[in-house]
């Protein structure tokens, strides 16, 4: 089976700060680093490192960054046939990380905004029954709705990580098989200060399963049957940027390999713990060998029932 990630790809520029600047204030960063990123690309790479087949559908510019994106994906073994090359600069994000490891992000999204999948992307021809379609919040809600509708018509599963939240997701919740949200997203979408109560509201709005990520506290799975809490290992967090993408991509990859959510989530949490204990976003992600090493003997290794 294949994980089709439909989303964005960009160049991330990361600044290390003691603290975030106040409005109107200029501060000097302790250092900076550049890496390719974007939630679509990050999640595609994380999924591919579980050993499953991944194709990324994303818009990039006809420029050096776009070329670097295509080369990087190919090096990760990700199918690049879904890349749409547009006559504009490839999207960029500025990520600030403070001394406590907290992050704040600003993005320019021209390519993502012009991208209108599934139209003209080849997703229609690529989707097969049993595949998974994974989308994030970088694309317009109409694109998510149209891609998920197509996936449903093909018998493919749908996973939504609605980050960043830009619009109402109410129209796509009934088309979503698995919703992955962090604490803030759960509270905002579910309209409740308690993330678990908020997730229960989202279940009532038509999603059969919600994973709520809770930072150092791990993550919970909620369905109509109840809730399971999965703790995260205690690690010294150096940089939490990208932790959500890493968890989401690994989770999708393992589901595609046949694991259940309850089996895949603890592995995704362990993978995310490795990521937060190292600096950077993509550069902090565990390698294929590191993910292999944290897989249980079964069911995720070698595939089991979904
Ligand atoms: P980000 O926006 O920083 O990428 P997020 O806000 O989307 O992340 P979080 O809930 O903060 O999502 O983190 C995702 C997962 O990463 C958590 O469920 C947890 O498994 C892991 N994680 C995050 N922070 C820590 C930490 N300090 N220690 C261990 N694991 C962590």
Rounded to the nearest angstrom, the distance between the alpha carbon of 57 and the centre of ligand 1 is: 25
Pocket of ligand 1 (CB under 6 A): 103, 182, 213-216, 218-219, 232, 235, 237, 240-245, 247, 269, 272-273, 276
Backbone angles phi, psi at 150, to 5 degrees: -65, -45
Question: Which CATH number do you get for residue 138?
Answer: 3.40.1190.20
pLDDT of residue 298: 56
What's the first-to-final CA gap in the chain, in angstroms?
Answer: 12
The pLDDT assigned to 280 comes to 84
Q: Which listed residue (79, 131, 146, 245) is catalytic?
A: 245
79-97 burial code (b ≥16 CB/10 A, e <16): bbebbbebeebbbbbebbb
Q: Is residue 254 part of a domain?
A: yes
According to DSSP, the residues that pair with 161 across neighbouring strands are 136
Instruction: Give pLDDT tens digits for 111-151.
Output: 999 999 999 899 999 999 999 999 999 899 999 999 999 99
Rounded CA separation 196/137 (Å): 21
Residue 306 falls inside a structural domain: no
3-class DSSP assignment, residue 138? coil
Domain extent at residue 216: 3-19+30-294
Instruction: Quote the number of domains for the chain.
Output: 1
245 annotated as ligand-binding: yes
Ligand 1 site-directed mutation target among 180, 214, 234, 243, most atoms within 8 Å of CB = 243
The answer to whether position 302 is within a domain reads: no
Distance between CA 147 and CA 156 in Å, rounded? Answer: 11
In a domain, 24, yes or no: no
- Listed in sequence order, the residues at least 6 apart from 292 whose beta carbon sits closer than 8 Å to its beta carbon are 51, 301
Q: What are phi and psi of 221, to 5 degrees?
A: -110, 130
Which of 41, 244, 270, 294, when mutated, tests ligand 1's pocket best, judged by the most ligand atoms within 8 Å of its CB?
Answer: 244
Query: What pTM value is reported for the model?
Result: 0.92
Residues of the chain with pLDDT below 50 are 299-306
Is 211 part of any domain? yes
Q: Helix/strand/coil (H, E, C) string of 235-280?
A: CCCCCCCCHHHHHHHHHHHHHHCCCCHHHHHHHHHHHHHHHHCCCC
245 is catalytic: yes
Domain assignment present for 303: no
Interface confidence (ipTM) of the complex: 0.98
User: Who's near 133: CB < 8 A, 6+ residues apart?
Assistant: 4, 6, 123, 127, 147, 148, 151, 156, 157, 158, 159
Task: Please check if 12 is assigned to a binding site.
Answer: yes
In a domain, 175, yes or no: yes
Q: Is residue 304 part of a domain?
A: no
The answer to whether residues 35 and 14 touch, using CB atoms and an 8 Å cutoff, is: yes
Query: What pLDDT, on a 0 to 100 scale, did the predictor assign at position 20?
Result: 96
Q: For the chain, how big is the Rg over CA atoms in Å?
A: 18
Ligand 1 centroid from CA 277, angstroms: 11
């Amino acid at each position: 089976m294949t994980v089709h990630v439909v989303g964005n790809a960009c160049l991330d520029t990361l600044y290390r700060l003691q603290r975030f600047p106040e409005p109107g204030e200029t501060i000097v960063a302790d250092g900076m680093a550049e890496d390719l990123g974007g939630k679509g690309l990050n999640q595609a790479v994380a999924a591919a490192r579980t050993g499953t087949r991944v194709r990324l559908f994303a818009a990039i510019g006809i420029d050096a960054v776009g070329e670097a994106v295509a080369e990087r994906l190919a090096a990760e073994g990700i199918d690049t046939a879904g890349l749409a090359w547009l006559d504009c600069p490839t999207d960029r994000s500025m990520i600030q990380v403070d001394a406590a490891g907290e992050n704040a992000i600003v993005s320019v999204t021209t390519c993502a905004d012009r991208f209108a999948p599934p139209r003209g992307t080849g997703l229609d021809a690529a989707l097969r029954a049993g595949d998974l379609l994974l989308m994030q919040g970088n694309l317009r809600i109409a694109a998510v709705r149209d891609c998920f509708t197509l996936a449903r018509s093909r018998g493919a599963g749908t996973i939504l990580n609605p980050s960043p939240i830009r619009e109402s997701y109410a129209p796509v919740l009934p088309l979503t098989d698995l919703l992955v949200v962090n604490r803030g997203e759960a509270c905002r979408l579910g309209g409740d200060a308690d993330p678990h109560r908020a997730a229960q509201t989202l279940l009532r709005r038509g999603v059969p399963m919600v994973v709520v990520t809770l930072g150092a506290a791990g993550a919970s799975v909620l369905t109509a049957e109840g809730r399971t809490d999965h703790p995260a290992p205690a690690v010294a967090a150096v940089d939490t940027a990208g932790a959500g993408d890493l968890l989401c991509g690994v989770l999708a990859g393992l589901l595609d390999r046949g694991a259940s959510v309850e089996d895949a989530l603890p592995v995704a949490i362990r993978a995310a713990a490795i990521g937060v204990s190292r600096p950077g976003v993509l550069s902090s992600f565990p390698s294929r060998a590191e993910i292999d090493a944290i897989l249980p003997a079964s069911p995720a290794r070698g595939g089991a029932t979904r």
